[in-house]
Structure 1
Amino acid sequence: MNNRISRFVLLLSVLTTSLSAQVPLYQNPDAPIEERVEDALNRMTLEEKVALCHAQSKFSSAGVPRLGIPEVWMSDGPHGVRHEFEWNTWNYAGWTNDSITAFPALTALAATWNPDMAALYGKSIGEEARYREKDVLLGPGVNIYRTPLNGRNFEYMGEDPYLAGVMAVPYVKELQKNGVAACVKHFALNNQEQWRGTVDVEVSDRALYEIYLPAFKKAIVEGGAWGVMGAYNKYRGQHCCHNARLLNDILRGEWGFDGCVITDWGGAHDTKEAALNGLDIEMGSYTNGLTSDNSLGYNRYYLADPYLEMLKKGELPMSSVDAKARNILRLIFRTSLDRDKPYGSLCTKEHYDAAKAIGDESIVLLYNNGILPLQGDKYGKILVVGDNATRRLTDGGGSSELKPKDMISPLDALRTLYGDKVEYAQGYACGRPFFGHEEVIPQQVMDSLCAEAVAKARQADVIIYVGGLNKNAFQDCESTDRKSYNLPFGQDELIEALVAVNPNLVIANISGNAYAMPWLKKVSAVLHISYLGTMGGASIADVISGKVNPSGKLPYSFPVKLSDCAAHTYGEGAYPGIDAGREADNSLTDYQRNVGVSPREEYKEDILVGYRWHDTKKIPALFSFGHGLSYTSFEYGKSLLSAKEMDEKGSIKVTVPITNTGTKSGKEVVQLYLGDPKCSVLRPLKELKHFAKVAVAPGETVQVEFVITPDDLKFYDEASRQWVAEPGVFNVYIGASSADIRCKHSFKYLSGL
């Protein structure tokens, strides 16, 4: 008996040792990720490695079924998890369980100027993406607002790289705590939709490093983003999705990025460049990114059979596919194979509360003659006018379209607050949201809607106008830029007609862009509102009524007219670009023209983007960057600097007391800008370097502190390819906006070169 037991124990021991020795590291969650990656890589065939590198459906790429390595599932977008599509078409899958919370657009998040809201946003949307079993969320977008005509500005976070970067970092961190990778986009210089797939951008190294790259760098280096999406456009003659300088030299070389580079859909154009220049996963080839289907099969992708064939022939090094496979495996181990990731949740009260809180803080009160907040007991009849008061603004817009479970419209929310005092008139029509073309509304229909609204306005005590832009083509919409800086669909004429019969007109326009306001001096108040999603109507109504005190600040400037914007000062060569030998034709989209021809575009304004241009060139904006009013008032007390001199190892603390001198609790965004008035290179009058959003009760004083370091003083020196600060005097500006400076100081920097 004892012998039999001993033999059994020995056999069990041998069997256990044998089995444990065969347990692959990639299945062991306790092993370091890099060991698991290398172990899995060593077990894969060449065909399996190549299969990782390209799509297998509209929104997934292959895993390694033989080794139990799962597929990678991706989803648009940065402000809501997109509905499901059929495997190989752009047709909706028709699921009944893919409705979600529509969060505010990222331009709304930027308008909060509140990193805590960015963290809440990332956490909430990450929980929804995890519940929907997504591994990669295609966002956030951090491209710079260069022109108010860019149809995709609403997906980004404004004109200032510091603001965009600070807001992106907590979004990325909290999103990825859910085991969902952020895919920061669109890298880089994707600052227009006109000709986005072909335009070849020329920009100075200084502008590249100071304006167009910092937000990406922060999201990657400080935020730890696991993914980056390449842009459609070209930079220095090479497509950004396989651009050697952007991906190899800067992203991986200078920033040490160890994540996964994914194309925008249809963004790959060459097998050799894709193999050698830093791209990992190719998505959507042989499509235009949104509307056409791939009839050639996924094995025809640049990083599919053509890549495999070149590897086998020795025309491309095996090290290239190993590098891609490592990056993709690392992504998989960080996401779908992370056994500690949470389960996620969908359309919860907490997510609706988060969307509401972000929306509340994003609304910007641009102008107010005292009519707001609107006290219902003062007015007998409230007329709401405008198509956006009832329109589902989650429809259209390209990849930003969403399928929300619930939507609160502005009209419904206003009726909830003010009851049967509210009457509605559409005022204008803009048709259904179409990708790539517009629905033309007969003029007689427009005239009739306008006449009806004006007739009702005569009988109303106050008018709330909810118009602006929408997600139609040539508005705030992917693939097309706006055609005009003015409001579309005859809205300027409609507003003029309304205010002519009733001066109590509150403008509550919804838009992801700045626009002209020829009627500004005639109306009573103006609110600037971005696309706020599920809870948007409630946020708008609560701000109008005063239940919420507005605290949003503009993340981009409002030029008086388009020619006041830097990108539109230097002719078509600076925007939208010109083909050699002939004039640019703005009526053609990328897909109507010969995509083999690349319009060339030079960023002639260089570093002077947005408020940097308005300040330095002394061209006043209609509403400045950082501007936003409140229903209370804030007094900036005497600010102090801890020192008058600073060396390259030192710092200066700046303190400023903020007192609420009004009768309502409110939040103020205190902004610190720095200027270098005497420098060997052109520098803007001032640049945003720090900000803080503080809540202040009536009569309360809050001390706000900032710390200025030598890094805040530096510019990118093209000759040395280094960030440098020259010794001399620097100016400190503290204010409520870039144009509303309340305190000014100076100090001397003693060293720097």
Structure 2
Amino acid sequence: MLKKTFLLGFFSLSYAVSMAQSNNLPIYLDDSKPVEQRVKDALSRMTVEEKVAMLHAQSKFSSPGVPRLGIPEFWTTDGPHGVRSEVIWDEWDQAGWTNDSIIAYPALTALSATWNKKMSYKYGKALGEEARYRKKDILLGPGVNIYRTPLNGRNFEYMGEDPFLASKMVVPYIHGVQSNGVATSVKHFALNNQETFRHTSNVIVDNRTLYEIYLPPFKAAVTEGDSWTIMGAYDLYKGQYASQNQYLLNDILKGEWKYKGVVVSDWGAVNNTEQAIHNGLDMEFGSWTNGLSAGTKNAYDNYYLAQPYLNLIKSGKVGTKELDDKVTRILNLAYKTTMNKNKPFGNIASEEHIATAKQVGEEGIVLLKNQNNVLPIDINKAKKIAVIGENAIKIMTVGGGSSSLKAKYEVLPLDGIKSRFGKQSEIKFARGYVGDPGGEYNGVKSGQDLKETRSADELLKEAVELAKNSDYVIFVGGLNKSEYQDNEGIDRKSYGLPYNQDNVITALAKANKNFAVVLVSGNAVAMPWIKDVPTVLQNWYLGSEAGNSLASILAGDANPSGKLPFTFPVKLEDNSAHKLGEYPGNKEELALGKGKDQKNPINITYNEGIFVGYRWHDTQNIKPLFSFGHGLSYTTFEFGKAKADKTTIGQDDKITFTFTVKNTGKKAGAEVAQLYINDIKSSVPRPAKELKGFEKIFLNPGEEKSVSITIDKEALSFFDADKHAWVAEPGDFEALIGNSSDNIKTKVKFTLK
């Protein structure tokens, strides 16, 4: 069936090309004509049946074009950090291709932790090239849902807790991908901040919080990034499902933001034909319909925007105004992707792609703690290095849900360490604990069998003995991509590390002082052992080059410069969603069994409002385990006193803050200068500080650079729900500049007239 469709597409396109080469050139095929004119011409030539067909899937990951007119079909693909392997036409099962392996890039928490906008563009460009080579038209990513709780199983796919950081990192990613003629599909719009009850929850959040916290990355993706598609979410908002939501899609996205692109549904997110027609959805994928009960010739004809829509039109119950708008958007997308003759060919696994994957990993790794300078490893003193922990040998590119990948290769932490240190040092491994011995996810097989017959006591004893007889001990643990961890579809059960790792870490800390804990995860975890462990690295899921990126940091070949994109609370109750809000849903409704199906959705109220992450910790003076923006280095940096180019500004003015950053240590490195704004006196509750600017500065030893960050009224504003407008109140403000939210180095006061 797959072969048949490709041939049909080929012949229809060949026919269109032959038409274009004749003297009677159709306008819709004429590159010299404006796209708007070409779209109108194509639309005028299409039957109602052809238009409706373009609105819904024809397979698991494709939708039809118009073969009669030579308009190609669209092919979509997961996901945000690598191009997913091919599946069977009508099934989720693997197609069994041998040429669909790719480079796995670090997950988006790692990209966001680089705080490097140029790196985000390189990442997007490389990923887009691989998608283009694989003949994909829409890449289903990136994800920018805000990190509200550390239990969200899908946080590893997103860009952290701060809307400003996510906004600034997502835009270059989009530009990079779309430079290849491949559309991004920024997801999941909106308020999909947990996986538990994601299909059956109604989110209740005030308008100010919606606009200040949860919408900004999507708005940036649309108004600055020009993402050609946006993916709707599963949850309900105002009692309507997000993928067919009047307020989110029509009023905000297509109304206020003037979005001209295509809204696609998440797979299985549509459940009502008339709402899908009228409430902003353009393309429907993955709906759970069988087609047979309606007597249609295939399941896809029974999608909500398929035969049911056509029947409503033919019966006169609905018109074609919405239909023409949807198809117009899809045709515009076609001229940027499937019918774009100028797009590059793309490539897979080039040296540049491999280097990008490794560099993102190096820049994203965060040095959380480094007491007594345990790292970098002193090769002259490291005759014996012990590597302990299952995550040192476990493949992580498979698993996690829809972002599971079939990578060409994955350098494991143990292999990366052996490659870097093996010539000078003896490297020995002990497992330490048993987590997930499985090696197959979404039909992709890792080829690993990590079954273990020894008891937990035996494993611990072996690990401790090895640690005692080594010069350095590197424990590689954390989470994995199994159920109830970093995984789509269901959240974590608890904040602590699984598999009894706390006991292993505590024992190893007693056995050797030259001890570093490496945490592989996309989420914050509890660290009851933190006072006893001298060094901690937050390592993320780093993809194909994971082991090489880690070894580079351990050796000091690369100086760590990553900064946390979200807060690590000491305990779960320190997180505002768990302290003030409802998670995983309303307790009374939970007791009644609500949320089990779509007929009985459960309410989730965001009582914490705008006080998410560091906004809560810093305002309430709750000391975090590690703060937002935190990240150490193997060198030291000094901030000079900041100055503003003016002390008073008007509502239409900009203000620039200038300061110096100097590398006062002995190694080249990079520091991230972060600018936060404090509204000293406000008529509404505001956080103690909010991120409004940042720059990553690379410095050689002794080098000093001047840094300037400019802001305008937008950085001083809050959203007034009553006025439905952004308001900057006149009065005194403070610019706070430092290298984390809890480490401010210099301040400047100024006044807004």
Q: TM-score, normalised by structure 1?
A: 0.93
The residue that corresponds to 2:428 in the other structure is 423
Which residue is 1:541 aligned to? 551
| Alignment-derived partner of residue 538 in structure 2 | 528
Query: How far is 1:376 from its partner?
Result: 2.1
Partner of 1:501: 511
Q: How does 1:219-234 map to 2 (within 5 A)?
A: 219-234=221-236
- 1:492 is matched with which residue? 502
For the residue of structure 2 that corresponds to 1:467, the secondary structure is strand
Deviations for 1:300-348, whole angstroms, at most 9, x for unmatched residues?
1111111111111122221111111111111111101000000001011
Q: Does 1:475 align with 2:485?
A: yes
Alignment pair present for 1:324 and 2:321: no
Paired position in structure 2 for 1:517 = 527
Select which of 162, 173, 176 maps to 1:174. 176
Q: What displacement does 1:710 show? A: 1.4
C-alpha deviation, 1:505, in angstroms? 1.5
- Partner amino acid for 2:750? F
- Structure 1 window deviating more from structure 2 (704-713 vs 358-367): it is 704-713
CA distance in structure 1 between the aligned counterparts of 2:269 and 2:625, rounded to whole angstroms: 37
> Counterpart of 1:123?
125
Aligned partners of 2:560, 2:497: CA distance in 1, in Å? 24
Selected match of 2:649 from 641, 646, 650: 646
The structure-2 alpha-carbon separation of the partners of 1:18 and 1:310, relative to structure 1 and needing over 3 Å to count, comes to: closer
- Whole-angstrom distance in 1 between the partners of 2:21 and 2:73: 27
For 1:5, the equivalent position in structure 2 comes to none
User: 2:561 maps to which residue?
Assistant: 551
- Preserved contact between residue 404 and residue 441 of structure 2 (Cα < 8 Å): no
1:451-483 Cα shifts (integer Å, max 9, x gaps): 321232222222101111111011110001000
Cα distance in 2 for partners of 1:492, 1:296 equals 53
CA distance in 1, matches of 2:500, 2:138: 41
C-alpha RMSD over aligned residues:
2.1
Q: CA deviation at 1:287?
A: 7.7
Note if contact 1:107-1:530 (Cα within 8 Å) is conserved in structure 2.
yes
Change (3 A) 1:18 1:522: closer
The alignment-based identity, stated in percent, is: 52
Determine which of 472, 495, 509 is the counterpart of 1:462.
Answer: 472
Aligned to 1:9: none
Kindly state the Cα deviation for residue 639 of structure 1 after the two structures are TM-superposed.
1.4
The one-letter amino acid of 2:215's match is: L
Q: Indicate if the aligned counterparts of 1:579 and 1:597 stay in contact, CA closer than 8 A.
A: no
- Cα distance between partner residues in 1 of 2:450 and 2:316: 56
User: How far apart are residue 551 of structure 1 and its match?
Assistant: 0.3
Deviations 1:399-449 (A, max 9, x none): 11011112111101111122151100111122226779xx99999633332
Equivalent residue of 1:34, what SS? helix
Map 1:298-447 to 2 at 5 A: 298-369=300-371, 370-419=373-422, 421-431=426-436, 432=438, 445-447=455-457
CA distance in 2, matches of 1:584, 1:83: 41
SS in structure 2 of the partner of residue 539 of structure 1: helix
The aligned counterpart of 1:163 is: 165
Q: Does 1:112 align with 2:114?
A: yes
Using the TM superposition, give the Cα deviation of residue 594 of structure 1 relative to its aligned residue in structure 2, in angstroms: 2.7
SS at match of 2:478: coil
Asked if 1 retains the 8 angstrom alpha-carbon contact of 2:60 and 2:91, the reply is yes
Q: Counterparts of 1:682 and 1:30 in 2: how far apart (Å)?
A: 55
For residues 66-95 of structure 1, the C-alpha deviation after alignment (integer angstroms, 9 at most, x for no partner) is: 110110000000100000000000100110
Query: How many correspondences in the alignment?
Result: 721
- Residues 269-297 of structure 1 show CA distances to partners (whole Å, capped at 9, x for unaligned) of 10000010110111111189xxxxx9971
1:577 and 2:582 aligned: no
**How many Å separate the matches in 2 of 1:582 and 1:241?**
25
Shift of 1:531: 0.8
Q: Which amino acid aligns with 1:57?
A: S
Residue 581 of structure 1: how far off its partner (Å): 4.6
Q: 1:244 aligns with which of 237, 246, 259?
A: 246
Partner Cα separation in structure 2 for residue 481 and residue 333 of structure 1: 39
Q: Gaps (5+ residues) in structure 1?
A: 1-15, 289-293
Secondary structure of the corresponding residue to residue 656 of structure 2? strand
Q: Mind listing any 5+ residue stretches in structure 2 that lack a counterpart?
A: 1-17, 291-295, 443-448
- Paired residues of 1:503 and 1:522 also in contact (CA < 8 A): no
Paired residue secondary structure (1:544): helix
Which digits, 9 at most, give the CA deviation of each residue in 1:551-579, with x for residues without a partner?
000000000000000000036xx111127
Q: Which amino acid aligns with 1:253?
A: G
- Three-state SS of the structure 1 residue aligned to 2:329 is helix
Aligned match of 1:85 = 87
**Which range moved further: 340-349 or 702-711?**
702-711
Residues 586 and 605 in structure 2, CA contact (< 8 A), matched pair in contact too: no
**1:619 matched residue in structure 2:** 622
In structure 2, the residue matched to 1:662 is 665
Q: 1:440 to 1:119 in 2, by over 3 A?
A: closer
Q: Which letter does structure 2 place at the counterpart of 1:486? A: G
Amino acid at match of 2:583: Y
1:189 to 191, 194, 207: 191
Are the equivalent residues in 1 in contact too, given 2:20–2:30 (CA < 8 A)? no
- CA gap of 1:630–1:131, structure 2 versus 1, over 3 A, is same
Q: What is the alpha-carbon distance in structure 1 between the residues aligned to residue 592 and residue 670 of structure 2?
A: 46
Specify the code of the residue in structure 1 equivalent to 2:482: N
Measure the CA separation in 2 of the matches of 1:299 and 1:105: 36
Residue 672 of structure 1, aligned match among 657, 672, 675: 675
The CA distance in 2 between the partners of 1:295 and 1:600, in whole Å, is: 39
> Per-residue deviation at 1:299?
1.0
CA-to-aligned-CA distance 1:660-692 (integer Å, 9 cap, x gap)? 100001100000000112111111011000000
Find the partner of 2:570 among 531, 545, 560.
560
Equivalent residue number for residue 256 of structure 2 = 254
AA at the equivalent of 1:648: Q
Matched to 1:154, the amino acid is F
2:570 aligned partner, one-letter code:
V
In the aligned structure 1, how far is the partner of 2:531 from the partner of 2:746? 29
Contact 1:465/1:507 (8 A) holds in 2: yes
Q: 1:453 aligns with which of 443, 448, 463?
A: 463
Write the distance in 1 (CA, Å) between the matches of 2:254 and 2:718.
Answer: 22
Instruction: Show the counterpart of 2:695.
Output: 692
- Secondary structure class of the residue paired with 2:220: helix
Cα distance change on mapping 1:584 and 1:353 into 2, 3 Å = farther
Question: What does residue 743 of structure 1 align with?
Answer: 746
Q: Does 1:597 align with 2:605?
A: no
Letter in 1 for 2:324: D
SS for the counterpart of 2:345 is coil
Q: Is the contact between residue 363 and residue 529 of structure 1 (CA under 8 Å) also seen in structure 2? A: yes
Q: Determine the C-alpha separation between the residues in 2 that align with 1:224 and 1:549.
A: 34
3-state DSSP class of the match of 2:380?
A: helix
SS of the residue aligned with 1:463? strand
Q: Using the alignment, how far apart are the partners of 2:696 and 2:281 within structure 1?
A: 39
Alignment partner, residue 5 of structure 2: none
1:720 aligns with 2:723: yes
